[in-house]
A = this chain, B = another copy of it.
Amino acid sequence: MAFPSDLDIARSAALKPIEDVANGMGLSSRSLQAYGDDVCKVRLEALDDLADRPRGKYVVVSAITPTPLGEGKTTTTVGLGQAFAHIGRKASIAIRQPSMGPTFGIKGGAAGGGYSQVVPMELLNLHLTGDSHAVTAAHNLLSATIDNHLFQGNDLDLDPHQITWRRVLDVNDRALRNVIVGLGSRADGVPRQTGFDITAASEVMAVLGLTTSLPDLRARLGRIVVGYTRGGDPVTAEQLQAAGSMAVIMREAIKPNLMQTLENTPVLVHAGPFGNIATGNSSVIADSIGLRCSEFHVTEAGFGADMGAERFFNIKCRTSGEAPDAAVVVATVRALKAHSGNYKIVAGKELSPELLAENPDDVALGAENLRKQIDNIRMHGIPAVVAINAFPTDHPSEHQVIQKIAAEMGAKSAVCTNFADGGRGATELAEAVAEACEEPSKFQLLYPDAATLREKIETVATRVYGADGVDYTSAAERQLDTYERAGFSNLPVCIAKTHLSISSDAALKGAPTGWRLPVREVRASAGAGFVYPLCGAMRTMPGLGSKPAAARIDLDENSEIVGLS
């Protein structure tokens, strides 16, 4: 019998009333705001109600450098969360809200997979409670205010050639990447070139991920820099008098969404910032709630440990003040084989028979990547636990290689079959994580606030990425000078580079050495609270393919959704 599809498994799930899920984690019904049948929002007042509760252990799920297929980090996050109940412990989970655009582009699978999924997946992958739509609306109100400011006389002397704030839409639409607006007659605005990003790339989304309260959200929105005057001074959303309205638009979106896994483990779904130009983590508020509602709060960080986990530590935890207790590093046989440099994996294509053949030697060859990512966790003072996300095509000898390397590194490890088996397939991992969390946390940030932006960039580049140093273009040098002058030097850095290598070159596998990080350009998310150097071209608006998922997704004769995966 064939293994059932994710959608079939999700459809046959026995969901608990979401209020029961909330009550089970100690959230009173008055802390909840219902939204449809199977999701609710958690009111921010819950944070006060929970303030006296003991804090649970804070576990971040990261990974080795993934292949373009992804290595099942969400599946492991969900599986681990589910597993704690099997060993008699109470857990909660936090994940990002998936972007809706790609749902209609290529297969998403942002809900986890197999018997480790967040349900109902159609809610998660579509509007959920409208938070992303609120981000779109708040972002574009600011965009309209900017163009209106130019139209009404430009009192702030905003330089039309230095406007960095674009527009956003949650759709895969390459034709919107570069546009000219303001065409037509005099009454139709001032013509200028700009473009659209996908909503997940909005700084408003990054703000949502890092904010701690409504007044803090309001203040961060006010600090957003939309561009510069002809004299080079930053112009903010506050100066444009748009931040108040943006905060009003975001007033509901700031409340995290509560859903559940197939095994009724509570899942907070909140914010979905990009993983390259932003933090790639779910929200500070979601984690704050989860941490006070469970013994173990499991939160996911995007991409490999050099990316999402580094930002989790140095941006998210810096902002929240919450110290993590342990990190999981998800590894797969296929990705480690790819890191040997002997195989090529392409999204949308079948894996080659050679890659699937038993070959523990190639796993060992690729293990430098695993070692480096374990190091990247441990340099922040917390223990790493290796989760081997097992596939039916794996061989025991290959798992043994990974476990041996983990042991050599002093890290616990566990083979996880939670895709096929649900939570009981990850109990060994849960035990290992629980043990790791018993060690006293020595969490430390990688750099102090007071370091210069260049020092921060160089610290991450050399220590986390293994670069020999950093090279800046003259534009990047100028921008760094501008930001230091503008008072942004106390902000952490969020280095935008490929997620397919620990280096900035996607082709370099394993743990590359002997290279320098090229910083092409530096931008500031002054509202969200970080500066982001760009190392290479970051695509912030996807396109649709020649056979987009949209063409398959439909309502069937019973008006049920088909084709969504």
Q: Could you tell me which A residues sit within 8 Å of B by CB distance? A: 33-37, 41, 100, 104, 126-127, 129-130, 133-134, 136-137, 140-141, 143-145, 147-148, 151-152, 169-184, 187-190, 193, 214-215, 218, 241-245, 247-249, 251-252, 543-544, 546, 548-555, 557, 559, 561, 563-564
Contact = CB atoms under 8 A, between A and B. Distances in A.
Given A180-B179, A190-B175, A36 B37 contact: no
A104 B248 CA distance: 11
A180 B180 contact: yes
Contacts of A563: 244
B127 A252 contact: yes
A214 B242 CA distance: 38
Nearest to A544: B148
Contacts of A241: 550-551
A33 B36 contact: yes
Contact of A172 (B100, B144, B179): B144
Nearest to A173: B144
Contacts of A214: 555, 559
B145 A137 contact: no
B188 A169 contact: no
Contact of A177 (B127, B130, B184, B549): B184
**Copies of the polypeptide in the assembly:** 2
Given A126-B248, A134-B127, A555-B251, A242 B550 contact: yes
B553 A248 contact: yes
A171 B144 contact: yes
Contact of A182 (B175, B242, B559): B175
Contacts of A190: 175
A260 to B, nearest CB: 17
A148 B181 CA distance: 20
Nearest to A242: B550
Contacts of A143: 171, 173
A147 B148 CA distance: 28
B188 A174 contact: yes
B140 A251 contact: no
Main secondary structure of the interface of A (DSSP, over half): mixed
Contacts of A172: 144
B178 A145 contact: no
A250 to B, nearest CB: 10
B141 A171 contact: yes
Contacts of A129: 130
Contacts of A169: 140, 169
Nearest to A188: B177
6 contacts: A104-B245, A136-B136, A141-B550, A144-B544, A244-B550, A248-B564
A175 B182 CA distance: 4
Given A140-B173, A171-B140, A244 B553 contact: yes
Contact of A174 (B148, B180, B193, B559): B148
Contacts of A137: 100, 127, 133, 170-171
A148 B245 contact: no
Nearest to A149: B544
B152 A174 contact: no
A139 to B, nearest CB: 10
Contacts of A247: 554-555
A104 B563 CA distance: 38
B215 A187 contact: no
Contacts of A126: 248-249
Given A36-B252, A126-B249, A177-B183, 11 more contacts: A34-B34, A100-B137, A104-B245, A141-B550, A144-B175, A145-B548, A145-B550, A177-B189, A183-B193, A242-B551, A245-B551
A174 B189 contact: yes
Q: Which 4 A-B pairs have the closest CB atoms?
A: A244-B554, A34-B34, A175-B189, A133-B133
A54 to B, nearest CB: 28
A483 to B, nearest CB: 27
A543 B248 contact: no
A464 B385 CA distance: 77
B548 A248 contact: no
A151 B543 CA distance: 10
Given A33-B36, A36-B252, A546 B152 contact: yes
A217 to B, nearest CB: 9
Contact of A555 (B100, B130, B151, B248): B248
B130 A147 contact: no
A36 B34 contact: yes
A563 B34 CA distance: 27
Contacts of A133: 127, 130, 133, 136-137
A375 B249 CA distance: 44
